[in-house]
Structure 1
Amino acid sequence: MAQETRMKTKKRKRKLRKWPKVIGLFFLLFFIGLAGYIYSIYGHAKETVNEKMSKDVESIDTSEVKEKLDNSDVLNILLLGVDERSDDGGRSDSIMVLSLNPKQDKSTIVSIPRDTLAKIAGKGIETKINHAYAYGGVDMSVATVENLLDIDLDYYVELNMEGLADLIDAIGGVTVYNELEWVDEGFYKAGYHWKEGEIKLDGAKALGYVRMRHLDPQGDFGRTERQRKVINAIIDKGKSTGTVTKLNDVIDVLGDNLQTNMSFNDMKSILLGYMDVTKNIESYMLQGENAKIKGVYYYEIPDEELEKVHDMLLGIGTTDTASITDGKSEDTE
């Protein structure tokens, strides 16, 4: 894959490009349907965001980002769902880019399979893209995704996947339509029967639902699709009046489990200037082929697909929305 690896720093001036930009899904939840309520808890939300959640990274130039935000330009945000482990630094279990296009009043969610073969920024090696987080945290993940898709990222949102359970419990659970029947082997509770059809998920069940992959014929792709279903269910639940009244609990959960380089003022500006993009949310997954290199399975993305997604995020391409490959990921990590 002929991509030049580089780590961005604050000293390197980046070109300001008029591209459609991106925002993280869980951050989107934070704002949907909450405009009329957030000011009533202004002090609590501001303190939680600025003191517990906000953390800058060197690979994002905040001065350029603020200029785009002030001009209501399109924004780029990377969402990382991180599986923290006691025996290592963790890996990014979920990697998504959501294109927020205020000029077209739409947003496009692009999922990047965690097995995707990519050149890791700052390491000079090609391996699974989710390893970037283990090697260099959010900074290296941001730079690696920027290199892969040839885009600039303006914000990142990192969510501890363990916190997903608390978030779902805080909003009273979610409902999804389950298309694959299986018996749990320990992701949630050994022997639990996941029936086909509409199912109600509390936090613990949701984690079991999104983490299973070995019993899914589509492997990691099936798991990514279930993650998207749960996220969409969270967004739908976030629009309800009942959830709005629970915003204090949601803020506390996010404060304990989420990090971002957004300040509270950034969030207010996006809340006021970008809400119309939630009217039309499309989703897409990078399309590629399974490859085996030195006995290890990867998901290899052809250059033409990377160019297609690059144009899609620029708002100049066409999207086969809600697309997911029929291939099977053989991920073992």
Structure 2
Amino acid sequence: MSKKIIWITLISCFFIGGAVYAGSLYNDVSTTIETIHEPEIRKVSELRTTEVELVKKEPFSLLLLGVDEREHDKGRSDTIIILTVNPSTDSTKMVSIPRDTYTEIIGRDKLDKINHAYAFGGNDMALNTVENLLNIPIDYIIQVNMESFLEIVDIVGGVTVDNATFFEVNGYPFDKGTIHLDGEQALNYVRMRMDDPLGDFGRQVRQKQVLQAILKEGASLNSLWKYKDFLSSIQQNIRTNMTFGQMIDIQKGYKNSINNMETLAFQKGKGQRINGIWYYIMDHEELENVTKELRDHLGLE
């Protein structure tokens, strides 16, 4: 992702950074954040003794869940991205967890795919399961309905991405190279997995491409009606345990950290069938290394 266009932009930088002092638009933004804020989501991790104090510029972590909701089905978190932000070192680290990762589902007393945690127990179970896997506290969560990609992409006038390989899905051909996508095309682009030579890793790359492009286009929105449409889409498709005040604090105190981002990756694991179901089995040493790097970045012992 772009150093200047990252996770919190999805909610705050689009609007707060450019319009927080713009009178009625400020009120619209604050009302939107109040609507998507879910205070019942766990506030303080059991891996912390006290809540992070953003006004003191303490390091924090955030979990971004992209949920593929269906009718009469809560859906599964097919995109799982963790970010740690440390203003003391002016840096951010980001890592994606493969959706099929075989791990303990906290609260269900069973091993399963990590993306099932959200389906079983919503945001709290997803938070607890990711924490258990990585052994780091997760302070904040942003849950995004993947279907919102379609309308958000159309609101910003489409997105441009660099496609690594030609493929076709649901009647849509995607040429190799630079291509422009509308909402429906973008949704199919990020969902394709079976024909990608990199499998789920390739899909993660495409998801990041589209998210980055959405953020880039969204940051340049300059008409009020587009802001209104964007806010309406956010109200319908995003949920978070962050408050408006916390977003303001992050916008004020963590900009330099976002400008210095490092992407980590899980690449050494392997696919394995267990009782006929395909799972991704983490490489133990790689998992330990990523965990140590994230804990160090959060200033944890």
Structure 2 residue ranges without an equivalent (≥5):
none
Q: In the alignment, which of 11, 19, 31 is matched to residue 47 of structure 1?
A: 31
Q: Distance in 2 between matches of 1:91 and 1:156?
A: 15
Deviations 1:17-46 (A, max 9, x none): xxxxxxx95433333465232221111111
Partner of 2:143: 158
Change (3 A) 1:257 1:26: farther
Give the one of 190, 212, 218 matched to 1:232: 212
Question: Is residue 265 of structure 2 the alignment partner of residue 282 of structure 1?
Answer: no
Query: What's 1:313 paired with?
Result: 294
TM-score, length-scaled by structure 2: 0.88
8 Å contact from structure 2 (residues 65, 142) kept in 1: yes
**Offset of 1:241 from its aligned partner?**
6.2
Aligned with 1:73: secondary structure? Answer: coil
Q: Which amino acid aligns with 2:246?
A: D
Q: Give ranges in structure 1 of 5+ residues lacking alignment.
A: 1-23, 318-333
1:99 equivalent in alignment to 2:69? no
Is the 1:25–1:79 Cα contact (8 Å) retained in structure 2?
no
What displacement does 1:115 show?
0.3
Q: In the alignment, what sits opposite 2:134?
A: 149
**Cα contact 1:118–1:128 (8 A) shared by 2:** yes
Return closer, same or farther for 1:104/1:246 CA change in 2, 3 Å cut-off. farther
Match of 2:283 in 1: 302
Q: Deviations over 1:235-275 (max 9, x none)?
A: 33344364898433322211110000111111111111112
Q: Cα RMSD (Å) of the superposition? A: 2.4
Distance 1:87 1:248, change over 3 A: closer
The residue number in structure 2 matching 1:8 is none
- AA aligned to 2:187 is L
Deviation of 1:71 after TM superposition, in Å, equals 1.5
Segment drifting more, 58-67 vs 106-115: 58-67
Distance 1:26 1:167 in 2: 15
CA deviations 1:63-103 (Å, max 9, x no partner) are 97754213111111111100111243211111110122212
**Partners of 2:93 and 2:262 within 8 A in 1:** yes
Which residue does 1:219 correspond to in 2? 199
Which secondary structure state, in structure 1, belongs to the residue aligned with residue 147 of structure 2? Answer: helix
Q: Secondary structure at the match of 2:21?
A: helix
How many residues are aligned here?
A: 288
Task: Confirm or deny that 1:110 pairs with 2:95.
Answer: yes
Q: What code does the residue aligned with 1:182 have? A: F
Amino acid at match of 1:54: H
Q: Which residues in structure 2 correspond to 1:155-194 (within 5 Å)?
A: 155-184=140-169, 186=170, 190=171, 192-194=172-174
Q: Secondary structure at the match of 1:110?
A: strand
Point out the more displaced range, 60-69 or 223-232.
Answer: 60-69
Query: Cα 1:257–1:118, aligned 2, differ >3 Å: closer, same or farther?
Result: same
Distance 1:202 1:97, change over 3 A: same
- Name the CA distance, whole Å, in 2 between partners of 1:307 and 1:134: 27
Task: Report deviation, 1:282.
Answer: 2.6
- Give the match for residue 55 of structure 2: 70
Amino acid at match of 2:19: Y
Match of 2:245 in 1: 265
1:108 Cα deviation (Å)?
Answer: 1.8
